[in-house]
């Protein structure tokens, strides 16, 4: 095992929460808008099923999950709640501020969280996190500061890839597979999603 891989696994063993951006990480960065019958404009999000199952796998393994996004699409909150995620931070273009607040609310240390990003506004949170991850489709500057770069692109299972990395590093992968074989993935009770909107702070 090379030095870089050893360092990644060392960091991954300490992670108690996986935090992610939305556009470009949980999605492929495409933004779709349509007009509702009332004339309002709504945004449609295209999420990956592989990433969704990863949230249940993490919860079963005792690892929390959260979102910090600069956006505010209702679809994101619906998705986070349905998957049993712990926190959702809306309208945070200053993601370093959001991360500090999240650490305070969760009682975790920076070294105990991983963050997945893809663009400039993710960099402050990535620089603070114990494990900084960039998706394959990230901009070069984000890849440069990442400890780990996924083989999968945003919206195509990148979140799932990092989730599996954490579970394997922490010796929880065997139990995850056993849960899968007996149809027991996602049986751990879902927490109530805690939503923080920057515009209301």
- Tallying the residues shown for the chain, one arrives at 201
CB atoms within 10 A of CB 35: 9
pLDDT single digits (tens) 147-191: 999 999 999 999 999 999 999 999 999 999 999 999 999 999 999
CA distance 163 to 25: 13
Which range marks the domain in which residue 37 is found?
3-200
Angle at 116 (CA atoms; ends 73, 21), nearest 5 degrees: 10
Each residue's pLDDT tens digit, 24-53: 999 997 777 777 778 777 767 889 999 999
Q: How many domains does the chain have?
A: 1
Q: How far apart are CA 61 and CA 56, in angstroms?
A: 9
Report the CATH number at residue 125: 3.40.50.1000
pTM over 0.75: yes
């Amino acid at each position: 095992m090379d030095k870089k891989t050893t360092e990644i696994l060392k960091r991954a063993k300490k992670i108690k929460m996986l935090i992610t951006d939305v556009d470009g990480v949980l999605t492929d960065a495409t933004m779709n808008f349509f007009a509702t019958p009332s004339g309002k404009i709504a945004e449609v999000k295209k999420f990956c099923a592989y990433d969704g199952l990863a949230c249940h796998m993490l919860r079963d393994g005792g690892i929390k999950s959260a979102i910090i996004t600069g956006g505010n699409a209702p679809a994101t909150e619906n998705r986070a709640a349905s998957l049993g995620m712990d926190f959702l931070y809306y309208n945070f273009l200053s993601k370093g501020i959001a991360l500090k607040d999240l650490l305070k609310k969760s009682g975790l240390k920076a070294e105990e969280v991983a963050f997945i990003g893809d663009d400039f506004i993710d960099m402050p949170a990535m620089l603070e996190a114990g494990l900084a991850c960039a998706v394959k489709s990230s901009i070069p500057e984000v890849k440069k500061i990442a400890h780990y770069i996924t083989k999968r692109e945003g919206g195509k299972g990148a979140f799932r890839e990092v989730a599996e990395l954490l579970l394997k590093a922490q010796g929880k992968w065997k139990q995850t597979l056993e849960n899968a074989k007996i149809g027991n993935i996602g049986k751990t009770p879902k927490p109530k999603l805690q939503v923080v909107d920057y515009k209301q702070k």
